[in-house]
Structure 1
Amino acid sequence: MRFISDDANDLKPAWMSSQETECPEKLLPGFWKHYTIADCRFFLWQMLSASISTENQDADASPGEQISFFENLVVYLEASSIVDNRGPLSKAKRGESEQYETGESSMDIKPGEKPPKGDNPHRKLHKRLKRLSIWHRDGFDDPYVILDSFFDAYDLPSFKARLYDILQVCCQEKYYDKGCPADVLYFLEKVESIINAAYSILISEEAKWLDKSKTAMECIASSNGEPECEIEPPAVIIQCLKEFFEYRSLKKWKQELNRICLYSLSSQSAQEWGVWIDSLTLYKLICSLAETAFDLRKNRSALP
């Protein structure tokens, strides 16, 4: 349909067959058999980013309204996924994956917490990152690849300048006009990618870094100049990552990025909608994270 209508006939299902309209609940298992909620978020985001980047936007479908619709549709799909997982046909199949689709698990790994014995912390971490990701979906196996990709796209000065411009328009009655909407989406995808990388590094390595009794020099000395273990990142880098996730949890940071995306592409300010975006604090923390990511990457490149 290429127009909005309140006509009763237009409010009826148009794509479903008569048999499907009689038993619509049977469609859910078939849909969720072929797609995960992560797939839905990914494909919808690709459609949204392409749509809001086009010229001559329809008056009834401004970029801000499309983003709002996208967010509500994703919430609806997530609710549908939960309902389907709780159905009798899904209970026998979902098994261990249930905790990742239906909400926060009590077994989620937190910074400073050792994973339980017998569990695969890396696999669990990757699933959690993918489940919470809005735009970024690749490279969870190696967070340093994510950092390389980020710094291939931006250097620190240009990143800070772009971040400042985007945060500034969130609190003004205008949208980001120094590029197309896709520029904002690409930028926020890169921000999300280094948040994912930082979280992955902190969770996967923190216990090892804190528990090691040997320093990097001892590792080198014990192997006659040939290091047998990774050189530890400086403690100050780990502290920066801790402070970043103490201010906001991983999930809360993703929500913050969503708000930045919405109000940077809207002609209405966040305050006008009763939303508080602490631009100065966000600018400081995200810039600090980018600098820490640069140090992490440099530290990794020093390894033989």
Structure 2
Amino acid sequence: MKTKLPKDPFDTACWSRGGITDPRQILAEVFNCSDIETLRTEIKQIVSYAQVDKLYKDHSPCDVLLDMKMVRSVLKAAHALKDEKISPVAVSANDIFDKSYYCSPHSKSGLWSDFPRCLSRDEFCNPYRVLKKFFKKQSLSKWVQDWEAMTECALSRHSCDTDLGSLQFYMRLVKLVEAAYLIDVREVTHIGRRLKNRFADQ
């Protein structure tokens, strides 16, 4: 007898409690499991170690692979949202230092740790601009392939054979993760173990 596997278009079952099919809830779950500072640092470490003949030993391989899988789900969720033109939350240039637009209420990090490092002012105001530009550069499957290759190289004693342009790759991927984080902070709220759209009843 064949068992039907649940639909899991964003590859969440390998790191979360079950398949999630709403892209905004993917972002909410990722940033419930981790924080933006941790993911930004992990991406930097993975990309750095992928370029040298050294084994990444700062965290256990299981933790590194877990972070890789979460970022991979962010890539897929961001791809599903890439055609959105603007957030339902209007943010102006004067709001840049208003913590309610960039600081998650359940974050354990400080205000400076949550603040986006790589986004321009326009991208801070409308993070969907980042998503659109990111996937114009190359396809989702290529981004996923490159990210998995970076992680494999970081966990190997040998550097990547292919030139993935480490600095550009890092900057683009961190920009995407920061934009995804802002979408989560502004549009999705956690209620207990449930995830609820903040604007569903408005």
Whole-angstrom CA distance in 2 between matches of 1:284 and 1:193: 18
Match of 1:292 in 2: 179
Whole-angstrom CA distance in 2 between matches of 1:278 and 1:145: 31
What CA deviation, in whole Å up to 9, does each residue of 1:93-113 have, x standing for no partner? xxxxxxxxxxxxxxxxxxxxx
Classify the secondary structure of the residue corresponding to 1:260: helix
Residue 255 (1) aligns with residue 111 (2): no
What CA deviation, in whole Å up to 9, does each residue of 1:69-97 have, x standing for no partner? xxxxxxxxxxxxxxxxxxxxxxxxxxxxx
Equivalent pair of 2:28/2:184 in contact (CA under 8 Å):
yes
Cα displacement (A) at 1:35 = 8.0
Equivalent pairs: percent with the same residue?
Answer: 24
Equivalent pair of 1:136/1:189 in contact (CA under 8 Å):
yes
Classify the secondary structure of the residue corresponding to 2:75: helix
**Which one of the candidate residues 158, 165, 170 is aligned to 1:268?**
158
Assess, with a 3 A threshold, how the Cα gap between structure 1 residues 151 and 173 changes in structure 2: closer, same or farther: same
Cα displacement (A) at 1:292 = 0.7
Whole-angstrom CA distance in 2 between matches of 1:34 and 1:164: 42
Equivalent pair of 1:170/1:260 in contact (CA under 8 Å):
yes
What CA deviation, in whole Å up to 9, does each residue of 1:26-48 have, x standing for no partner? xxxxxxx9489xx7xxxxxxxxx
Whole-angstrom CA distance in 2 between matches of 1:135 and 1:260: 19
Residue 164 (1) aligns with residue 44 (2): yes
What CA deviation, in whole Å up to 9, does each residue of 1:231-264 have, x standing for no partner? xxx9832211011111221110111122112201
Cα displacement (A) at 1:164 = 1.0
Match of 2:33 in 1: 153
- 2:51 maps to a residue whose letter is C
Equivalent pair of 2:47/2:151 in contact (CA under 8 Å):
no
Whole-angstrom CA distance in 2 between matches of 1:140 and 1:235: 27
Answer 1 or 2: which has greater helix percent.
1
Whole-angstrom CA distance in 2 between matches of 1:182 and 1:172: 20
Match of 2:130 in 1: 240
- 1:296 maps to a residue whose letter is I
| Aligned length in residues | 155
Unaligned runs of 5+ in 2: 91-123, 189-197
Match of 2:66 in 1: 186
What TM-score, normalized by structure 1, do the two folds share?
0.44
Match of 1:277 in 2: 164
- 2:61 maps to a residue whose letter is P
Cα displacement (A) at 1:134 = 11
Relative contact order higher in (CA < 8 Å, ≥ 6 apart): 2
Equivalent pair of 1:173/1:268 in contact (CA under 8 Å):
yes
Classify the secondary structure of the residue corresponding to 2:82: helix
- 1:250 maps to a residue whose letter is L
* Stretch of structure 1 that moved more, 242-251 or 133-142: 133-142
Assess, with a 3 A threshold, how the Cα gap between structure 1 residues 133 and 253 changes in structure 2: closer, same or farther: farther
Equivalent pair of 1:136/1:193 in contact (CA under 8 Å):
no
Unaligned runs of 5+ in 1: 1-32, 40-125, 218-233
Assess, with a 3 A threshold, how the Cα gap between structure 1 residues 139 and 296 changes in structure 2: closer, same or farther: farther
Cα displacement (A) at 1:202 = 2.4
Assess, with a 3 A threshold, how the Cα gap between structure 1 residues 143 and 164 changes in structure 2: closer, same or farther: same
State how 1:88-103 maps to structure 2 within 5 Å. Answer: none
Match of 2:107 in 1: none
Cα displacement (A) at 1:182 = 0.7
Whole-angstrom CA distance in 2 between matches of 1:145 and 1:247: 25
Whole-angstrom CA distance in 2 between matches of 1:289 and 1:298: 14
Whole-angstrom CA distance in 1 between matches of 2:42 and 2:89: 37
